[in-house]
Structure 1
Amino acid sequence: MDIVEQAKHFVADKVANMPKPEAAITDVDLKGFGFDGITYLAKIAVSNPYAVPIPIGEIAYKVNSSGRGIASGSIPDPGSLKANDKTMLDVTIKVPHSVLISLIRDIGADWDIDYELELGLIIDIPVFGNITIPMSYKGEMKLPTISDLFMGKQPAEMEGAPAVADA
């Protein structure tokens, strides 16, 4: 093996063993509801092992329930990750009422929606380029009751267990 091949293997080995940012969805809660749909807030904890901030290019999300996509979207340029620290990110997810009607069988049983949230955190790391950190979270979305809508309760006043992560 010549020196160029040895150098390639050395660099590839060092790159493969470098620490990489890690992310996890910590919680999903009801944020609010209105005439156009229900809004949920997903909280993401991202750790940056590098001594420099890392820009986040985009956060893409998709929510599935009963084998169907019920919401999807992206948040372009949500900021950057703090150097050598953990950064908390908020992702707002809007679920239209029309989708809830199509899931009426699941909702009727216990007034919640069993779901899986898939997130992709796209970050720009110099030398590597863009990398995507995939995340997944399973849980239940508690829905507001009719009395909650007419009595004017805010999401913080409503009862409901937080979603449970599938680790």
Structure 2
Amino acid sequence: MSGLLEKAKEYVSEKVAEMKKPEATLRSVGLKEVSRECITYDAKVSVSNPYSTSIPICEVSYTLKSANREIASGTIQDPGSLKGNESTVLDVGLNVPHSVLWSLARDIGEDWDIDYDLGINLVIDLPVFGNISIPASSKGEIKLPTFTDLWTT
């Protein structure tokens, strides 16, 4: 009896491993808003859903690093759902406090941008399987606003 149970477990494990899963890709990171408290950047994340039904997103968490230190992190609870058999683009707002920018003065002074490493993790709720994490990451440069950007917003 235990041999049959083991074979059933192996079969189910193989089928789950072969299943298509949603995938996430970071498309871009750009300036969204400048305020007195922080600079907000907008990360566009494209998530493909291979299933015919929509899937709820439980949360989106992010960590933004520069010069090997964390400059922003956060979690967005219940940002919506992924449409069935489509790619959904999520806008993730990254709030970077002005005080952090002073500590990155050397990197900023060289080329007026922040070299970044952004990690985003989406947690979706799949029926039967439960919560599944979908990671996405990107490295690049974020341009800082100029004085003209500060006066026009």
TM-score, with normalisation over the residues of structure 2?
A: 0.95
What are structure 1's unaligned runs of at least 5 residues?
Answer: 155-167
Shift, 1:128, TM fit: 1.3
Task: Give 1:145's aligned residue.
Answer: 146
Task: Give 2:49's aligned residue.
Answer: 48
Shift, 1:141, TM fit: 1.1
Quickly say closer, same or farther: Cα 1:113–1:16, change in 2 above 3 A. Answer: same
Shift, 1:148, TM fit: 3.3
Shift, 1:147, TM fit: 3.9
Q: Counterparts of 1:147 and 1:87 in 2: how far apart (Å)?
A: 33
What are structure 2's unaligned runs of at least 5 residues?
Answer: none
Q: Alpha-carbon deviations, 1:139-160, whole Å to 9, x = none?
A: 11111123432xx234xxxxxx
Task: Give 1:115's aligned residue.
Answer: 116
Return 1-10 or 91-100, whichever deviates more. Answer: 1-10
Shift, 1:2, TM fit: 2.9
Structure 1 stretches (4+) deviating beyond 4 angstroms?
none
Opposite residue 137 of structure 1, the aligned amino acid is S
- The number of residue pairs the alignment matches comes to 152
Q: Counterparts of 1:80 and 1:148 in 2: how far apart (Å)?
A: 33
Q: Counterparts of 1:52 and 1:146 in 2: how far apart (Å)?
A: 47
Q: Counterparts of 2:149 and 2:125 in 1: how far apart (Å)?
A: 43
Opposite residue 153 of structure 1, the aligned amino acid is T
Task: Give 1:103's aligned residue.
Answer: 104
SS in 1 for 2:152: coil
TM-score, with normalisation over the residues of structure 1?
A: 0.87
How large is the Cα RMSD of the aligned pairs? Answer: 1.2
Opposite residue 152 of structure 2, the aligned amino acid is K
Task: Give 2:95's aligned residue.
Answer: 94
Q: Alpha-carbon deviations, 1:67-121, whole Å to 9, x = none?
A: 1100000100001110111111100111010000010010010111101111000
Q: Trace 1:1-167 onto structure 2 (pairs within 5 A).
A: 2-149=3-150, 152-154=151-153
SS in 2 for 1:101: helix
SS in 2 for 1:2: helix
